[in-house]
Structure 1
């Protein structure tokens, strides 16, 4: 059992850290305040090879291992979780293609992401089908060599800027999850409309919209897998992406810990720095301990994928523990700062707002517990 990163992994970590420190952090507060899409930051990430990490090299992507991707994800979210979400959204949207598409589809639908900066969106969640995916209302009706898609998707990351959408729709509502099918919608075809950007509490640098499909026509050649395989493709995708979202939590928590340590070393009460008070020491000790524990859980869940093993249980351990941990650590960081922690001029209130979303998206903490219980009792 080896716990050290390789020389290549340390170099990757340092490159991602430098990008976050020098490119992302100086502008993070601006994009949070204005809730505007950080295209310039993402363009830099693209040039550095930090975008499209999951796409294999033979299709023009970076082709990083799952463990390597988590190393980068921690550094990106340490800089800004909203920017990190915008970067990783491409990988989430392209994972169904990577996992289940034919060779021809992979070449056609993945290759162009290496040519220029472009965005893709993962379209699973609906107003009535978030955690309850089997209740999906978006339909796909086959007409000859095309499918006609009707329905609505919500909370779609990068949806307002995407040029390709991985869409899940049912070919038969009566079949519940067995009717769900995966499609790739290219460009902005007739009938696809995009709502305004949602005014979110946190991760405000990430673009979040709703999509409406009104008789959107998609060629049969853009169906990923067979009819009815969409649910299993979506679940496999989330197993692959959970280590990344878990590591977002680790990056947020690490930032909160570092800010807290710096502030506690400078702030004085009763004639000494507050870090010399045992109450503060205990809070910071717990922050450090839990951040490290979450990192190790996440590394394991990614490592299992790299070994070709199933990681449903471990990835749910990681995502659930890390998300809840980050919310606690960020809240404690605000407490360490006291009244200043509640003011936007200081960095920790943003971390608390950013952390909350990770308890919600890509499977709530409650849903992760359901997955864990189901896996344990198999």
Structure 2
């Protein structure tokens, strides 16, 4: 289980030997670390999500609903195709950020793009998975697809937390607007 907490410290004394960087310059250091976390924590998510999509497509190719092959259901096909497009976009966003890092450039707002897109794509993929797998996704059993059902149930709940970790999607959008688009603060 994952948990998120807020901690407030007042009148804390840190020995000089334990300081990271300059005194009273901790917040900029935290922001720099978050910039890296936002990228490195998400840069490979598209690969795992692509594998999840491939297994979901395999399920669709082998399953029926109300006597109809799922692979012939246009709504299901459209949902899966949309996720496939978004996975490719996610991969390209990651490549751009990695290229900038490789050049030695800052990715102060690009890391927010990577994080926001990857985290929200994870939510959309999990939602599509649950829709395609149907209500039986909640059932435990020894069917061929039990592990897929279990994984999408987990992803549905887990991915919600990822949009909070390292800064909410709303905070990321503010960063993108201010740093990436040079829009004024509202």
TM over 0.5: yes
Q: How many residues align?
A: 173
Q: Distance in 2 between matches of 1:364 and 1:295?
A: 21
Higher relative contact order (CA 8 A, sep 6+): 2
**How far 1:312 moved relative to its partner?**
1.1
1:274 matched residue in structure 2? 70
Matching of residue 329 in structure 1 with residue 125 in structure 2: yes
Of residues 33, 50, 54, the one that matches 1:254 is 50
Matching of residue 289 in structure 1 with residue 85 in structure 2: yes
Q: Structure 2 length normalisation: TM-score?
A: 0.82
2:6 matched residue in structure 1? 127
Q: Distance in 2 between matches of 1:127 and 1:221?
A: 26
**How far 1:252 moved relative to its partner?**
4.9
2:153 matched residue in structure 1? 349
Unmatched runs of 5 consecutive residues or more in structure 1 = 1-34, 36-81, 83-124, 129-135, 142-146, 148-218
C-alpha contact 1:283 1:332 (8 A) present in aligned 2: yes
**How far 1:270 moved relative to its partner?**
5.1
Of residues 264, 267, 286, the one that matches 2:60 is 264
Q: 3-state DSSP class of the match of 1:224?
A: coil
Of residues 170, 182, 185, the one that matches 1:377 is 182
Cα deviation digits, residues 231-268 of structure 1 (max 9, x gap): 11111111111112323642453243123101101111
Q: Distance in 1 between matches of 2:43 and 2:113?
A: 12
Q: Structure 1 length normalisation: TM-score?
A: 0.42
Which protein has the bigger helix share? 2
Unmatched runs of 5 consecutive residues or more in structure 2 = 141-145
Cα deviation digits, residues 65-108 of structure 1 (max 9, x gap): xxxxxxxxxxxxxxxxx8xxxxxxxxxxxxxxxxxxxxxxxxxx
Of residues 223, 236, 240, the one that matches 2:32 is 236
Q: 1:138 to 1:291 in 2, by over 3 A?
A: farther
Cα deviation digits, residues 265-308 of structure 1 (max 9, x gap): 11113544201221111011011111121122122223212211
Matches within 5 A, 1:284-323: 284-323=80-119
**How far 1:342 moved relative to its partner?**
3.0
Q: Distance in 2 between matches of 1:362 and 1:258?
A: 28
C-alpha contact 1:330 1:348 (8 A) present in aligned 2: yes
Matching of residue 140 in structure 1 with residue 19 in structure 2: no
Q: 1:313 to 1:274 in 2, by over 3 A?
A: same
Cα deviation digits, residues 200-231 of structure 1 (max 9, x gap): xxxxxxxxxxxxxxxxxxx4222111101211
**How far 1:140 moved relative to its partner?**
2.8
**How far 1:138 moved relative to its partner?**
4.5
2:168 matched residue in structure 1? 364
CA RMSD of aligned residues (A): 2.3
